Amino acid sequence: MDLIVCIKRVPQTAEAEVKIDSSGKDIVRDRLTFDMNEADSYALEAAILLKEKFGGTITALSLGTADAEDTLRIALAKGADSAIRIRAEEFVELDGFKTAALLKEVIKDIKFDAIFTGCMATDDSYYQVGPVLAELLRVGHATLVSKVEVADGKAQVNRELEGGLIEHLEMSLPAVFAVQTGINEPRYASLIAIRRAAGKEIRVVGKEDISLELKSNSTLEELFLPPVGKRAEILSGSTDEISAKAATIIKEKGLI
Amino acid sequence: MATILAVIEHRQGVIRDITFELLTLGRKLVEKNNAQLTGVLLGHDTQSLAESLRTHVHRLLVVDHEVFSDFNGETYQQALTAIIKKENPFLTLVGNTAFGIDFCPSLATQLGVPFTTDCIGVEMVDGRIRVTRQLYDGKMDAHVQLAESSSYVLTVRSGICPAEQGNLSAEIQKIESPVVSQPDYKKFIEYIEAVVGDVDITKADVVVGVGRGIKEQANLPLVEDFAKAIGGVVACSRPIVDANWLPKDRQVGSSGKTVKPKLYIAIGISGAFQHIAGMKNSDTIIAINKDSNAPIFNEADYGIVDDLFKVLPALKSKILEIKK
Ligand SMILES: Cc1cc2nc3c(=O)[nH]c(=O)nc-3n(C[C@H](O)[C@H](O)[C@H](O)COP(=O)(O)OP(=O)(O)OC[C@H]3O[C@@H](n4cnc5c(N)ncnc54)[C@H](O)[C@@H]3O)c2cc1C
């Protein structure tokens, strides 16, 4: 099977301090660490598992700035055969729709049986790229995919719904699967594989290779800090004092 | 008069809560903008569902066909494409749920109209749509302006517009189904219920929720010991289940369980809205997190900004002291 995996390099913000930059439209990035978007690493693993079963190739594709090539090299080390980067720095207002439209411009010249994407990216939380890509390529899709099994040319696909309910679908290929986290165990790349991937060529495409005049759906006007809600009463003091206060609160509620 | 269309989400014979939230949002928007609210109900044998919507919309379009007995994003997309082309609404609202995500981005793309997803605020300004979205793990909000158009599609996050009673009396209008069969390339087969395990976290008075802050599976006994000391059950955020450290039935949140204990202690959990959705109605919430900016502190009653590896043993011994 010939497979394509779309990968995004994203800032790791869950534990970091996030600040607005001077443009007011982006965050300060220089102190943040970056990594493959969480759901994308499950998408990549899903593709690798299918390749191991059926043979074929995996193309890893990323719309990103030059450092996205580090993330593509991780994909190469884990099991992708080739990698392509679209120069994000040449495009503006990259919302989910425009991102998908750019990915489509590259994918339309590649033969594929399935495309895997993450169900969403943790930086802009769009949930758009997989399904829009499918629509532009005129193939079927499923989102929040928690299982893909291929047999006799058909895919048995599970989607994860609210409350953990599963929707089981039967789909034909080619199709686009936007993968939810937790669907497999993403492998680690071995050191040897990482060293080997460091020497591989990554094809880079840019504005001159893309004929389409692309419009985005939306313009980000400004970032702002989320309004603080009711805000917790923060217990202060040493660890010991804080713990004593918390234990007292729990006791007063009659819970111990 | 301009129309706002809202797509009714229902599953297994029940209208989902998000529908009433969307319709409340829709009513607020039409009141401000002198428009009318139309609901679209795709289903089969949905008479009682339709009745329960009557007070919430000005007009309800009902498609009753076998093909809509169960959900298939593809049949929804095709039917809604036809209906939107005919009705020509200024705005179409859909929940940013497993249902909406599956057909909305592709629907808007097929229609060629501007859209965006996971909105937490929606305004109509000078004939254009401006929304609020949340970025970077909930640490930033953004105002986003949609491109100029005569029609828009948005998905709206659950829980941002609490459902209110409606006082309208809708005219219910049956329309012929624009779609009569599932496409060969995507067929609904069945729903599979989540597996039930040995511990029911929804029944416990004290729930100890652990998140990615615990770092390694080897550290879980720390949380288990703590839960035992306080007499609670261990639950968790999604990444803990994704890593197979705890079973799925311990997951709290939109794609897991909803708990309402007397006390919920969130340990090393950042407070993503999908997690909050599953625990916000707890009587008392205590959060332990070393990041003072973690969104969980907007939901908790009491916060401990400290390293959980220091706090848990200390808190455990204080609790055991009191118990003695
Ligand atoms: C469709 C969909 C459905 C989802 N459903 C759910 C769901 O049902 N439930 C759910 O939980 N998530 C769900 N998620 C995932 C959700 O978006 C978040 O990714 C997830 O909740 C994050 O889990 P976390 O808080 O444990 O991890 P993180 O966001 O990584 O947060 C870890 C926290 O631990 C803190 N920490 C780290 N070390 C320490 C320490 N030593 N001491 C104290 N604190 C520390 C950090 O400051 C950080 O705040 C869903 C996502 C999607 C896309």
Residue ranges of domains in chain B: 3-174, 201-323
Q: Which amino acid residue places its CA nearest to atom 49 of ligand 1?
A: B270
Tens-digit pLDDT profile for residues B132-187 = 999 999 999 999 999 999 999 999 999 999 999 999 999 999 999 999 999 999 99
pLDDT of A214 higher than 90: no
Q: Could you tell me the CA-to-CA distances from B224 to A78, B34, B211, B235, B310 in Å, in that order?
A: 35, 56, 13, 10, 15
| Fold equal for B3-174 and B201-323 | yes
Tens-digit pLDDT profile for residues B42-65 = 999 999 999 999 999 999 999 999
Res B97: pLDDT = 98
As a whole-number percent, the residues of chain A with pLDDT over 90 amount to 95
Give the separation between CA B255 and CA A113, rounded to whole angstroms. 29
- The 10 Å Cβ neighbour count of residue B38 is 23
CA distance, residue B169 to nearest chain A CA (Å): 31
Res B127: pLDDT = 87
Given pLDDT bands bounded at 50, 70 and 90, which one contains residue A12?
Answer: very high
Mean pLDDT value across residues B245-267: 97
Q: Could you tell me the CA-to-CA distances from B172 to B46, B52, B53, B54, B56 in Å, in that order?
A: 12, 11, 10, 8, 12
Name which of A41, A84, A38, A42 is nearest A60 in CA terms: A84
Q: Which residues contact B177 (CB under 8 A, 6 or more apart)?
A: B63, B64, B65, B67, B68, B79
φ, ψ for residue B278 (rounded to 5)? -95, -5
Given pLDDT bands bounded at 50, 70 and 90, which one contains residue A226?
Answer: very high
CA distance, residue B229 to nearest chain A CA (Å): 9
Q: Cβ of A250 and B230 within 8 Å?
A: yes
The ipTM is 0.96
Tens-digit pLDDT profile for residues A86-108 = 999 999 999 999 999 999 999 99
Cis peptide before B261 (omega within 30 of 0): no
Of 3.40.50.720, 3.40.50.1220, 3.10.580.10, 3.40.50.80, the CATH number of B201-323 is 3.40.50.1220
Is the Cα dihedral A94, B96, B250, A16 positive or negative? positive
pLDDT of A111 higher than 90: yes
Res B26: pLDDT = 98
Contacts of A123 in chain B (CB under 8 A): 135-136
Res B45: pLDDT = 97
Q: Cβ of A20 and B110 within 8 Å?
A: no
Mean pLDDT value across residues A13-38: 96
Give the separation between CA B127 and CA B151, rounded to whole angstroms. 10
Fold of B3-174: Rossmann fold (3.40.50)
Q: Which residue type is seen at B128?
A: R
Give the separation between CA A95 and CA A105, rounded to whole angstroms. 16
Consecutive H or E run containing B144: strand B140-146
As a whole-number percent, the residues of chain B with pLDDT over 70 amount to 100
Q: Which atom of ligand 1 is nearest to the CA of B270?
A: 49
| Domain A2-209 falls under CATH 3.40.50.620 | yes
Interface of A with B in 199-238 (CB under 8 A): 215-235
**Chain mean position to CA A106:** 18
Res A121: pLDDT = 97
What three-state secondary structure class fits B23? helix
Contacts of B295 in chain A (CB under 8 A): 226
Q: Helix, strand, coil % (nearest 5) of chain B?
A: 35, 30, 35
Mean pLDDT value across residues A179-192: 97
What three-state secondary structure class fits B33? helix
Please, are residues A13 and A33 in contact by the beta-carbon 8 Å criterion?
no
Tens-digit pLDDT profile for residues B33-42 = 999 999 999 9
Query: What is the side-by-side strand order in the sheet with A2-6?
Result: A202-205, A82-87, A57-64, A2-6, A114-118, A175-179, A140-151, A154-160, A166-172, B186-192
Q: Average pLDDT of chain A?
A: 96
- B322–chain A Cβ distance below 8 A for any pair: yes
The residue to which tokens 């997989």 are assigned: A130
- The 10 Å Cβ neighbour count of residue A67 is 10
Contacts of A220 in chain B (CB under 8 A): 142-144
- A255–chain B Cβ distance below 8 A for any pair: yes
Please compute Rg for chain A using Cα positions: 21
The residue to which tokens 């985005």 are assigned: A216
Given pLDDT bands bounded at 50, 70 and 90, which one contains residue B195?
Answer: confident
- B200–chain A Cβ distance below 8 A for any pair: no
Please, are residues B113 and B149 in contact by the beta-carbon 8 Å criterion?
yes
Q: Average pLDDT of chain B?
A: 97
Q: Is B159 a pocket residue for ligand 1 (Cβ < 6 Å)?
A: no
Got the DSSP string for B248-282? GGGBBSTTSB----SEEEEES----HHHHTTTTT-
φ, ψ for residue A195 (rounded to 5)? -65, -40
Mean pLDDT value across residues B273-300: 97
CA distance, residue A35 to nearest chain B CA (Å): 13
Res B133: pLDDT = 98
Given pLDDT bands bounded at 50, 70 and 90, which one contains residue A213?
Answer: confident
φ, ψ for residue B227 (rounded to 5)? -60, -40
Q: Helices A129-137 and A96-107, interaxial angle, to 10°?
A: 40
Res A130: pLDDT = 98
- The 10 Å Cβ neighbour count of residue B44 is 13
